[in-house]
């Protein structure tokens, strides 16, 4: 006996509206209005150019910082000022945590949780 969880009338499902919403989101993803001056953008961009290997990477990082700051109702320059005070060795961790503010909790990026195992359990695990 086969069980089927699909509805018997598949034509009743309106897939076209969901499809339009998804296409609209990804089509307009980079057309968001960003309220920042050119001088502020240049300051943030030049800060991240010191730490990246190319200009495109710095532009992507700077735009992500600006977008996240505006979504969190923060001034992008205040965020940049905070990052300039952070120790260079800890900058990656701070950037990851800041950029994760806009992400869903199940899809955090750049976080590596090392599990702490009991020394007796660790001894018996083949690595």
User: Does residue 97 form part of some domain?
Assistant: yes
107, part of any domain = yes
Is residue 4 one of the residues assigned to a domain?
no
Q: In a 10 Å sphere around its CB, with 0-12 CB exposed, 13-18 middle and 19+ buried, how is residue 3 labelled?
A: exposed
Domain assignment present for residue 46? The answer is yes
What are 11-64's pLDDT values in tens digits? Answer: 555 556 666 666 665 665 555 556 788 889 899 999 999 988 889 999 989 988
Residue 83 belongs to some domain of the structure: yes
Rounded CA-CA distance 88/13 in Å is 53
For the cut 80, the answer to whether the pLDDT of residue 89 exceeds it is yes
The answer to whether 64 and 97 have CB atoms below 8 angstroms apart is no
Q: Which domain holds residue 73?
A: 34-127
Whether 119 is in a domain gets the answer yes
pTM for the full predicted model: 0.60
Residue with tokens 């005070």: 85
Let me know if residue 14 belongs to a domain: no
Residue 13 falls within a domain, yes or no?
no
Domain count, the chain: 1
Nearest-angstrom CA–CA distance, 74 and 98: 12
């Amino acid at each position: 006996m086969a069980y089927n969880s699909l509805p018997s009338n598949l034509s009743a499902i309106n897939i076209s509206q969901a499809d339009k919403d998804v296409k609209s989101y990804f089509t307009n993803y980079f057309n968001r209005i960003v309220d920042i001056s050119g001088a502020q953008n240049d300051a943030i961009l030049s800060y991240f150019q010191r730490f990246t290997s190319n200009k495109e990477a710095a532009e992507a990082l700077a735009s992500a910082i600006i977008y996240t700051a505006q979504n969190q109702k923060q001034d992008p320059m205040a965020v940049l000022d905070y990052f300039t005070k952070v120790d260079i060795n800890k900058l990656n961790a701070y950037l990851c945590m800041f950029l994760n503010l806009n992400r869903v909790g199940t899809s955090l990026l750049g976080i590596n949780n090392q599990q702490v195992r009991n020394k007796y359990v660790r001894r018996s695990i083949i690595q």
